[in-house]
Amino acid sequence: MKVAVIGAGIGGLTAAAALRRRGVDAEVFEQARALGEVGAGISLADNGWRLLQRLGLLDQIERVSSHLDQGYFQLRTDGSLISTLRTPGASWDRRVFGIHRADLIDVLTSALPAAAIHTGHRLVDLTEDIQGVRLRFENGETVHADAVIGADGIHSVVRRAVVGEVAQPRSSGTAAYRALVPVTDPGDWDWGTSKMWIGPGRHFLVYPIRADRLINVVAVVPALGGERDSWTAPGDPRQLAAEFAGWDPVVTGLIERVTDTFQWGLFDRPPLTTWASGRLALLGDAAHAMLPHLGQGGNQTIEDAFALAAVLEDTATADIPAALRRYEGLRLERANAVQRASRDAGELYDSVAQENYDQRDERIRRMAPFYQWLSGHDADSLEAPPLAPSR
């Protein structure tokens, strides 16, 4: 069986590596001419890194990331505690890594032979028949595959072939400033932790990356209109400072050190009702692009990749459509539940409807079982995940 994976992001590279681990011939086709320094920090939770460990990648991840084993803390604007996922004094049984997206791409690339990654291949169209799928690329090349996996992001070409037109994304009413602050002093951060300050209409998330050499900042604020759905649109550090004036000095002190920032319009997309059609299937953002408020976009994508590889192992080419439907059955509802929960979390964090935030803070505390549910499923197992707990 030959599988063509479209897109060399986290999902595409993980899918190819997971497929090859199970003996499936998989190659990746990426439109960019090189895999480069794109994006900023992401959170690699235990439902993601435990799967990558099976590819032999954990040692590399540990070297290039920051260890966030001392907990995730949610705070009010003055720094007082709302909630932590670790009970004070208890041992912490969840490992989380803060990692730059480019560093994770490098790690994943190392799991594949160079000949399995083809850059400069922008997919133009594809044609499916009983024999397989014919792919045509902008550079004039054509490729034949037994199955095609669309890991080609929010503007997926493969998705159009699977589900046709999809609903246009709508603004969530918020935008995110993203910035990286170089570490200059051991006192720059409470190492081993990630923290999020939550206030009326906005929140401010911080965690270190790159082995504690950079501090990653994600600051979510009300949208003004006109923001782009892009990680690379420039933002104004002065406007960022104005949005969080009067907050905890830890917050304002970090903002004072921001020299460059990107402004990312946060757009919401309705969950899809199908991910597979014939010999085509979707994963990652092409299937379930989600708002960033639970830090699960990359982790769910990794889960997709391993579930896909598990269903395709030892599958006869004639049985590929049925196997891809099984993959959809294993993954769609869980990923859609996380997509919905990410939307709900953003609405909760950025609420301006309550004058007294005690009720909001109690709802935040009640999210702990959902995080446990995220951690408790092994997507490599071919077992159906349990239903998400109510929040």
Sheet hosting strand 280-282, strand order edge to edge = 117-118, 25-29, 2-6, 147-150, 280-282, 276-277
Long-range contacts made by residues 188-193, C-beta under 8 angstroms, separation at least 24? 188/215, 189/215, 190/70, 191/66, 191/70, 192/67, 192/68, 192/69, 192/70, 192/71, 193/68, 193/70, 193/71, 193/72, 193/73
Q: Dump strand ranges (E) for 146-212.
A: 147-150, 170-182, 193-199, 202-209
* Nearest-angstrom CA–CA distance, 13 and 119: 12
Nearest-angstrom CA–CA distance, 171 and 293: 15
Cα angle 116, 60, 376 (rounded to 5 degrees) comes to 95
State CA 146 to chain mean position distance: 27
User: Residue 228 phi/psi, 5° resolution?
Assistant: -95, 150
Instruction: Tell which residue, 233, 240, 216, has the closest CA to residue 292.
Output: 216
Query: In the structure encoding, which two tokens stand for residue 163, read together?
Result: 């589900």
- Report phi then psi at 101, rounded to 5: -55, -40
Distance CA 205, CA 262 (A): 15
Q: Which residues contact 316 (CB under 8 A, 6 or more apart)?
A: none
SS3 state of residue 300: helix
Q: Which of 72, 207, 327, 349 is catalytic?
A: 207
Question: How many CA atoms lie less than 13 Å away from 19 in the CB half-sphere?
Answer: 26
Is 371 catalytic? The answer is: no
How many Cβ atoms sit within 10 Å of the Cβ of residue 153? 18
Per-residue DSSP letters for 222-248?
E--S---S-SSSEE-HHHHHHHTTTS-
Which residues are annotated as catalytic? 207
